[in-house]
Structure 1
């Protein structure tokens, strides 16, 4: 087999969870080029995957068909003569491009109106009894019936930091005397909604505790543009001597990957950045509220999950249906601080 195309998921965390599938395919077909078609916001994940030959970026927009763009991409991909395409999102539109490109084997889960577009498929698991995401994606590799298919238990995603991204971080933030060995990264955002976000007052108190323990420590708040205002509130609540910097929206994802891989430790909500930290084996405390750590845990022996497992959780709601958000409010800064110290001992 000479060419394999991957149509990537649209969320950062999901994209990280696909890396073991890439590793399995590379093991089965070491001579094959594995290319990834990805939206611009998840493309950096695949630039951090050593198995990938080429990342093909596309300016896909949420909930938009973009028929002209998809036809153009299909025309360009047709010339590459891929033998197999793994369509990882479940949507109809994600299956259009490989079908239009006449890729012979189009593999994926059965999704919305995809009969014929996908010609080698698995049933989607029920939402009640879902396997871990890594296993969900990895199962698709077995449809090729290769004798070399990966059978390892509990595979974990692994990402690499590019030298270019690392240099960019060091150059870009030289003006704040960036010292990776004394830098804690906090990720206060979560795309899903408030029920995944640890309170800003808790983040601020934790920052104060970290600087009290280590006066040379720096705190960097990391996330997207949508998290910038949230991070500003954390900075306002923290002590002025906490050496806290709001970099939300001021880094590319390539730079964020490098920064997470270089820092001392990460404190995050259940988010894409949490999965990046796990894939880079950076020590981290992952804070869960409404979501289920059994389904989307940080897959790293250097990660500790804090989850209260209340009777009302996981509810998977964007806003707390009971109005109290105890699943996050009751995870106190002292508990996170103590857990973080155990990771560094």
Structure 2
């Protein structure tokens, strides 16, 4: 292999999980600075590839529920062969992903053989056998898994640490978006991500309304981010605060990233959009319930997590144990950091 041979990274299909793969991209780019890096993910997440430093190109592979998707994978294999990739890092441990890179003729295929893909994968991170026997609930964070694959199991030096994911929106695109939307760049904006109102990850909408009203009265713009699942929550927020801007009919994920990047602060719950906000370096207050933030949350340093206290009664199985007061306190702390 030469210092210019291209590398393929096969990422996860979900937006949040794919964003976490950018930590692996950064590790690979540091190890092989002259080699181009391309990524494979779902059509939903693929537009994010162009916002990831060190990524040359993103390939989209449609996700097939309960289907093997042979025709789609055959088409992509043909395209991958033309690129002459010499190394593939497989973040996802599925046999289908390993078979795809094998059929594409990529000689070095690195990943965890979680589905016993010996032969389809031919290089494993250190400690792979212990990982293979870690059945049951996930024993490590996805962040740690993707970094281990990219570094072949080598832990960072004592004075270093694995990099957090990063997304970058082109400043010129952001300026054009503000002009088209008639956004006053001098006015602070609080973005809200509610998830679906019936989603176990969501926070009661009336509490979002209360927080939004407080910041609206302070002169902040209120933006509601998301898609079809968030529209019911957006309607309730706008019914209470008509001046709030509903972006849940956004036509593309690119626009959603511009909306978040233009925000002053972000308040949300567990979800891919929240990972995007953290990777875009927007100060975030994120509310978690059953899914614990250490395992499922972003690793970026400017994120404040809010969880139900340990004393919460066992029947409270969602985010209701997080009070409005704690959220306001977290947002106030983030505001202070922004001003300092």
- Pick the TM interval, shorter chain: 0.7 to 0.9
Matches of residues 167-186 of structure 1 in structure 2 within 5 Å?
Answer: 167=175, 169-174=177-182, 177-179=183-185, 181-186=187-192
| 1:8 alignment partner in structure 2 | 11
| 2:194 alignment partner in structure 1 | 188
Cα distance between partner residues in 2 of 1:257 and 1:181? 19
Deviation at 1:167, TM superposition (A): 4.2
The C-alpha deviation readout for 1:217-254, integer Å capped at 9, x for no partner, is 11111012222223212322x244xx212111314222
The C-alpha deviation readout for 1:86-144, integer Å capped at 9, x for no partner, is 12222222223211111111112223353332222333545556223222101012339
Q: Does 1:333 align with 2:333?
A: no
Q: Do the aligned partners of 1:227 and 1:248 also contact (CA within 8 Å) in 2? A: yes
| 2:36 alignment partner in structure 1 | 33
Q: Alpha carbons of 1:133 and 1:165: their partners in 2 closer, same or farther (altered >3 Å)?
A: farther
Q: Does 1:162 align with 2:162?
A: no
Q: Do the aligned partners of 1:190 and 1:269 also contact (CA within 8 Å) in 2? A: no
Which range moves more in the overlay, 112-121 or 129-138?
112-121
Q: Does 1:81 align with 2:84?
A: yes
SS at 1:159 equivalent: coil
Which range moves more in the overlay, 327-336 or 28-37?
327-336
Q: Alpha carbons of 1:342 and 1:142: their partners in 2 closer, same or farther (altered >3 Å)?
A: closer
Matches of residues 60-99 of structure 1 in structure 2 within 5 Å?
Answer: 60-99=63-102
SS at 1:94 equivalent: helix
Matches of residues 283-322 of structure 1 in structure 2 within 5 Å?
Answer: 283-310=283-310, 322=315
| 1:51 alignment partner in structure 2 | 54
Q: Alpha carbons of 1:61 and 1:181: their partners in 2 closer, same or farther (altered >3 Å)?
A: farther
Using structure 1 for the length normalisation, give the TM-score.
Answer: 0.85
SS at 1:86 equivalent: strand
Cα distance between partner residues in 2 of 1:194 and 1:16? 22
Q: Do the aligned partners of 1:10 and 1:89 also contact (CA within 8 Å) in 2? A: no
Q: Does 1:130 align with 2:139?
A: yes
Cα distance between partner residues in 2 of 1:178 and 1:140? 44
Q: Do the aligned partners of 1:24 and 1:150 also contact (CA within 8 Å) in 2? A: no
Using structure 2 for the length normalisation, give the TM-score.
Answer: 0.86
SS at 1:120 equivalent: coil
Cα distance between partner residues in 1 of 2:186 and 2:265? 9
SS at 1:78 equivalent: helix
> Considering only aligned residues, what root-mean-square deviation do their CA atoms show, in Å?
2.6
Cα distance between partner residues in 1 of 2:245 and 2:285? 19
Cα distance between partner residues in 1 of 2:153 and 2:323? 48
Q: Does 1:204 align with 2:212?
A: no
Deviation at 1:53, TM superposition (A): 1.0
SS at 1:286 equivalent: strand
Count how many residue pairs are aligned between Structure 1 and Structure 2.
325
Stretches of structure 1 lacking an aligned partner (at least 5 in a row): 314-320
The C-alpha deviation readout for 1:168-218, integer Å capped at 9, x for no partner, is 5324422xx443641110011169x72211111111111111112x13x11
Matches of residues 139-158 of structure 1 in structure 2 within 5 Å?
Answer: 139-143=148-152, 151=157, 152-158=160-166
